[in-house]
Amino acid sequence: MPRILVCEDDADIARLLGLMLRNHGFETDIAGSAEEAKRLLEQRDYDAMTVDLALPGQDGISLIHELRDSSNWRWLPIVVVSAYAQAGKARTGGGFPVVDWIDKPIDERRLLAALNYSAIPGEGTQARVLHVEDDSDVRRIVASLAGPGMSFDHASTLSEARSKLSMGQYQMVILDLVLPDGSGWELLPLLDRMHPPPPVLVFSASEVAMSEAGKVASALLKSRTTNDELARVLHALVRRGTANLRSAGSSPIVGYQQEGLSG
């Protein structure tokens, strides 16, 4: 069930938002200020967030700027719900990275449409993930931690991964580095040519140097990663990959051009 963080300092409106969302299958947590919202974001994973612009201490625009500057929440879908929504939209020039600007009184149908579009991969669909890994036990564990919202394709070799990538787009790619026919790093040029490139998680038994880690969205060491940490990263990157696809107007069934990708 998708979980939404509601950042709203008016207790009555916060309760109304929570009721609206719970009635339509969302779980909600309420934050009465930007500081409380940031504490909750540190404590658990959210699928989307609503933000009032008139908050005590730190205003909503400043909060959104701060979240967008953080690698942890850069891709979190945010819907502005505020009596000052249109003024905020005008102030930021309309190009601010939020899903929608919704005025109060709240248009329930518009709010639900924005959250269903951004917080859920798609009605009746699953996010597509390619896991390049030759250990079947690791593949099984990762898929079980991801939950029902992700559909996994598996590749045990670089050759098999190239074949999978030629047939469609993915919201995320998980790479082991040591494969029977080479290194997972060899796939990065192919992934970079996709439109848009899917976020890449390196999940390997091999240490990743800082200089190499900067080439991918995230890098986790198998021996040092808890199940909870891995699950959080999986869901965050899938949301990022889904947002990228929607922004680019891409279809999950369109991959890169096959030309020049042999070998």
Angle between helices 136-146 and 227-248 (to 10 degrees): 70
The reply to whether 218 falls in a domain is yes
Domain boundary among 57, 92, 119: 119
Report H helices in the chain: 11-23, 34-43, 60-68, 85-91, 108-119, 136-146, 158-166, 188-192, 210-213, 227-248
Are 161 and 241 found together in one domain? yes
- Check which CATH number belongs to the domain holding 23 and give it: 3.40.50.2300
Are 133 and 234 found together in one domain? yes
The reply to whether 239 falls in a domain is yes
Map residue 132 onto helix, strand or coil.
Answer: strand
On whether the CB atoms of residues 132 and 173 are closer than 8 A, the answer is yes
Domain boundary among 119, 146, 167: 119
pTM reported for the whole predicted model: 0.56
Provide the 8-state DSSP code for 114: H
Are 132 and 241 found together in one domain? yes
Are 182 and 232 found together in one domain? yes
Burial of 170 (0-12, 13-18, 19+ CB in 10 A): buried
The reply to whether 255 falls in a domain is no
Below-70 pLDDT ranges, the chain: 1, 94-95, 117-125, 246-263
Are 37 and 97 found together in one domain? yes
Are 8 and 78 found together in one domain? yes
Domain that holds residue 206: 127-248
Are 90 and 16 found together in one domain? yes
The reply to whether 257 falls in a domain is no
5 sits in which H/E element = strand 3-7
Domain boundary among 119, 151, 184: 119
Are 44 and 94 found together in one domain? yes
- The number of distinct structural domains making up the chain is 2
The reply to whether 262 falls in a domain is no
Are 27 and 101 found together in one domain? yes
The reply to whether 133 falls in a domain is yes
The reply to whether 261 falls in a domain is no
pLDDT of the residue at 258: 35
pLDDT of the residue at 246: 64
The reply to whether 49 falls in a domain is yes
Are 107 and 143 found together in one domain? no
Are 131 and 205 found together in one domain? yes
Are 49 and 96 found together in one domain? yes
